[in-house]
Structure 1
């Protein structure tokens, strides 16, 4: 796709430090299992890993002579990591270079010969998406700020099934960089995955804090792939997005695949599921789509190869007049899609985070591993 925030004392720290890879797998592997959707569900997902529930983040950059001043939010209810408490007391404030090291480490973990199509990239995008897409602009609850998918029952919501894979992978990075909040880690993981899979640069900045189970969001805030246009608008308008942005965000379905044991749906959207392109839109217009005859939920398949799928929420993009004009524009122009996608994903990953928490007024551009 909860704001009892700012109940925390402020601590000030001054920073005096100055501010690939990716051999993209363009070839579709018919023997691989691609799995990614915003509607995955599973009957028996493993329990979420126990969280350190740590809170440490530099906030509200103030440019000053000789350095940059940052505010650090600390909350006695949520700061439980001894490592992070020690770093806060020592006035450790991570710089952009520190976050770049985290990005690089995530990038090194993307390759996975024994998982899906050989990459954890799509599932990391889905983790970042689902941890952010719970935002409600009216109640100002949800979003990426508290990383509440670590807790039940949110971790067990049908739309989050299978994301234990991504969360467990991120625990490896968290162990190496215990100072980073889960919200920053997960969204940075999404940025890394998108950029390393051939996508555009995604502006990103840290500042999210870790909350508790009391901030967990209710079920039903993420898209239900079996629904139509009205449902999409209800879900995305609640977050603050418009029709054009709905269509742009849908382009993430160029990546990954659905699992029968999670959402019930099956198959990939494109022939290059670990490379971000505008193929999702091109295939919607260029292929003949028919309803699949099988025992699973209602989904479409391409008539020619019967190896690709589209969800009902995907197909509505070429049926709804407003959605269709944007989908056609993206099908015709990948550069336009990348530009709009970059902008809206950056906004998505910041949903629910108070502006004053961010360490910098302007988002950063993280380097790819091979840069």
Structure 2
């Protein structure tokens, strides 16, 4: 059983039992992988490198706070597709989204999370797939209704090459086999549903989801600069999330997803995971943020923090804003103490995130999937 399967089993336990089970495994895994410096990353197999290059570069964890002003690494070209066009078509009895067995899609995506993942980061593609769902949704602007998950415009080079989307070619490519199997499934629905799967299969809360998003043409690509900048503090964080229509409580809940994934020097410029269990969805991000002693990392990269005892986990300047800001901190303290409350609030906020700006068909059902 690989490390991800061990942690996923532990994730189902909940609360103190979960922490007691997954923490020793995760800590030893991080120590063994020695990710605290970029030079210590383990070599990948040829098979992994080939797959990564096809996907547009080796991946990132969730890291949705990571924004680089210019693309890093090679460009990612568009994925050829036939758009699912027209509101009328989506509402009709012959709408393509009605032909899809979403429960089976869920199961197929769950298999992809672990498929050939032994040498990929911490043994799961879940964090990078979750990040794809977040970044394809987090571009929404309530002022003009543009952006959001509807359209899946990251298929096209202009948006795929935005600095904030570095490494997401891995997630898009991993999901291509699902799209090929279900041609009536839009990329917009696929990517958001994949985010739901990644959360639930990592032990996170149940996320209500509904189908009916339609893919858009290249002329709908969103301009760069709508995703958060990791180097900035609370004013910037609020500007980004308020633009989408979130309040302070929802902001903190969404940031809690940093429990999953890691940053990479060759993509964001930053390095390391936020906690010792980067493939498990929990409230550990808040516990580490509030209870660890953090020091500025001494290295040639951008300013970030590492835990003083081990130097193996990190926080970004934008993360520290959650601890330093009075209004943000009160929610972080609540979520650190009450994982159930965090799960409940995160579920609502994430469901809202992936539905922003989507003109769902009136007969689109709300689906609650059971984790496998």
TM-score, normalization: structure 2? Answer: 0.82
Any idea what SS the aligned residue of 2:200 has? helix
Matches within 5 A, 1:163-174: 163-174=168-179
Correspondence for 1:185: 190
CA distance in 2, matches of 1:345, 1:265: 25
1:107 and 2:110 correspond: yes
Aligned counterparts of 2:371 and 2:329: Cα–Cα separation in 1: 33
Shift of 1:35: 3.4
Does the 8 Å CA contact 2:78/2:157 hold for their aligned counterparts?
no
Give unpaired runs (5+ residues) of structure 2: 9-21, 36-59
- Displacement, 1:323? 0.3
- State the partner residue of 1:367: 370
Q: Count matched residues.
A: 321
Task: Give the corresponding residue for 2:209.
Answer: 204
Aligned to 1:72: 89
Q: Select the structure that is richer in helix.
A: 2
- Per the alignment, residue 242 of structure 1 pairs with 247
TM-score, normalised via structure 1 length:
0.82
Is the CA contact 2:188–2:213 (under 8 Å) kept in the aligned structure 1?
yes
Instruction: Give me the whole-angstrom Cα distance separating, in 1, the residues matched to 2:188 and 2:131.
Output: 14
Contact 2:99 2:184 in 1 (8 A): no
Instruction: Flag the structure with higher strand content.
Output: 1
Q: 1:277 aligns with which of 259, 282, 298?
A: 282
Give the Cα separation in 2 of the matches to 1:53 and 1:309: 41
Question: Partner residue of 1:131?
Answer: 136
- CA drift of 1:54 comes to 2.9
Q: Partner of 2:81 in structure 1?
A: 52
Q: Which residue of 2 aligns with 1:66?
A: none
C-alpha distance in 2 between matches for 1:92 and 1:206: 10
Shift of 1:367: 2.1
Bigger-Rg structure (1/2): 1
Could you tell me whether the CA contact under 8 Å between 1:48 and 1:164 is conserved in 2?
A: no
Q: Counterpart in 2 of 1:24?
A: 7
Which of 35, 53, 63 aligns to 1:37? It is 63
**Residue aligning to 2:15:** none
Contact 1:146 1:183 in 2 (8 A): yes
- 2:232 aligns to what? 227
Tell me how far apart the structure 2 counterparts of residues 358 and 185 of structure 1 sit (CA, whole Å): 20
**What is the RMSD computed on CA atoms of the aligned residues?**
2.2
Q: CA deviation at 1:94?
A: 3.0
In 1, the alpha carbon distance for the partners of 2:371 and 2:83 equals: 27
CA 1:45–1:100: 2 relative to 1, 3 Å: farther
Segments of 5+ residues of structure 1 without an aligned counterpart are 1-20, 60-70, 75-87
The structural deviation recorded for 1:178 is: 1.0
Shift of 1:107: 0.2
- The change in CA–CA distance for 1:110 and 1:73 in structure 2 (over 3 A counts) is same
